[in-house]
A = this chain, B = another copy of it.
Amino acid sequence: MPLKEKPLLQRIRRAATRYRPGIGLGIGDDCAVLRLPRGHEALVTTDFSLEGVHFRRDWHPADAIGHRCLTRGLSDIAAMGGIPQAAFLSLALPADLPQKWVDQFISGLLKLADRYSVLLAGGDTAQSPGGIMADIVVLGSVPAGQAILRSGAKPGDLIYVTGNLGSLQEALTQLRSGKHLRPKSHLKHFYPEPRIAIGQFLREKKLASAMIDISDGLSTDLAHICEESGMGAVLYADALASIAETRSEQRLVSGHDFSRADTRSTQTRTLAPEHETALSDALHGGDEYELVFTASPNRRIPDRIAGIPITRVGEIVRGKNIKLVTKGKSKFLKPAGWEHFG
């Protein structure tokens, strides 16, 4: 049922009903009632955000956790080329959690919801026996028959990735070593942006044959496309290195630990071990919320969509395996599943 009239969630209700009163009844009945655009199908996705697995209270500010919680759902809508419509939040909270934490969590979530005109339309609350557990459901829509599936990749299709990959691993490495990170200097880790506009552009222009978001790492998520399409794939190491290398540049730009970053940025281009790490991060690092999609070689894919660079990183082939090609030599690539912070 929608958010109950418990003190904790009365504020959410007040905050949430500000949003898009036109599209539905929102909170306050047994169900939320939502009218989808005429001729659209419904998209539904549901994702847990669990303390100790997807976030840590000592690493992440509450508003960033709220933001990331909703990004998980919005990123799935983006991966179908969909339009997000409404979100439903189920929250299990420890009894001793400060009210301020909840307020900031909701604030971070609503700020992102507002930016994509998503109505917070319901949810549930309960006391958690362990840590904080949030389950986010996002309802979206897409013109009937036009959702971009995982299963549409064809032999010869080219493989593209949005943005950069692997840059989040640096933030994680530092967090794991006990370093405190300023969210403003690591926006992509603390406030990842779902690629909604890119997904919709690809769907409207009928450019992509298959798509998925990279929440579990490129090697794992590309394997899902291959599996559902009954295909194999070839990835080019040099193309991946080119979007992985920006990792060091980002660190440079961020101003964090400036002098050492500068040195390492140069090293990344010359030292093989650094290269290896960057490539591995790009292949297997998760928590990215970038998109990987395939497109027929007949389609012209722009260099940038909605301001984000699009990079060709491989192609779809017949077969069952994913191969990584480095300087003409190819080796089999095993999907190395992303394990979050657990």
Q: In the complex the two chains form, is A88's CB within 8 Å of B130's CB?
A: no
Give the residue name and chain of the B residue nearest to A215 (CB): B1
Q: In the complex the two chains form, is B1's CB within 8 Å of A122's CB?
A: no
Contact-size category for A: 35 or more
The 0/1 profile, CB within 8 Å of B marked 1, for residues 208-245 of chain A is 00011101000000001000100000000000000000
Q: How many copies does the complex hold?
A: 2
Rounded to whole Å, the gap between the CB of A313 and the closest CB of chain B is: 19
Which residues of the partner chain B approach A144 to less than 8 Å between Cβ atoms? Answer: 35
Q: In the complex the two chains form, is A5's CB within 8 Å of B44's CB?
A: no
Give the residue name and chain of the B residue nearest to A46 (CB): B88
Rounded to whole Å, the gap between the CB of A20 and the closest CB of chain B is: 14
Question: Which residues in A have some Cβ–Cβ distance to B below 8 Å?
Answer: 1-2, 5, 24-25, 28-36, 41-48, 50-53, 75-77, 79-80, 82, 86, 88, 90, 92, 121-131, 133, 135, 137, 139-140, 142, 144, 147, 149-151, 211-213, 215, 224, 228, 342
Which residues of the partner chain B approach A121 to less than 8 Å between Cβ atoms? Answer: 44
A-B contact pairs, 26 of them (CB 8 A): A25-B149, A29-B147, A29-B151, A30-B45, A30-B150, A30-B212, A30-B213, A31-B43, A31-B45, A31-B79, A31-B80, A33-B43, A34-B41, A34-B42, A34-B43, A34-B44, A35-B144, A44-B122, A44-B137, A46-B90, A46-B122, A46-B135, A47-B124, A48-B90, A90-B135, A128-B130
Q: Which 8 A-B pairs have the closest CB atoms?
A: A129-B130, A130-B130, A30-B79, A31-B43, A30-B76, A135-B135, A31-B45, A34-B42
Q: In the complex the two chains form, is A42's CB within 8 Å of B42's CB?
A: yes
Q: In the complex the two chains form, is B45's CB within 8 Å of A1's CB?
A: yes
Q: In the complex the two chains form, is A32's CB within 8 Å of B44's CB?
A: yes
Rounded to whole Å, the gap between the CB of A104 and the closest CB of chain B is: 22
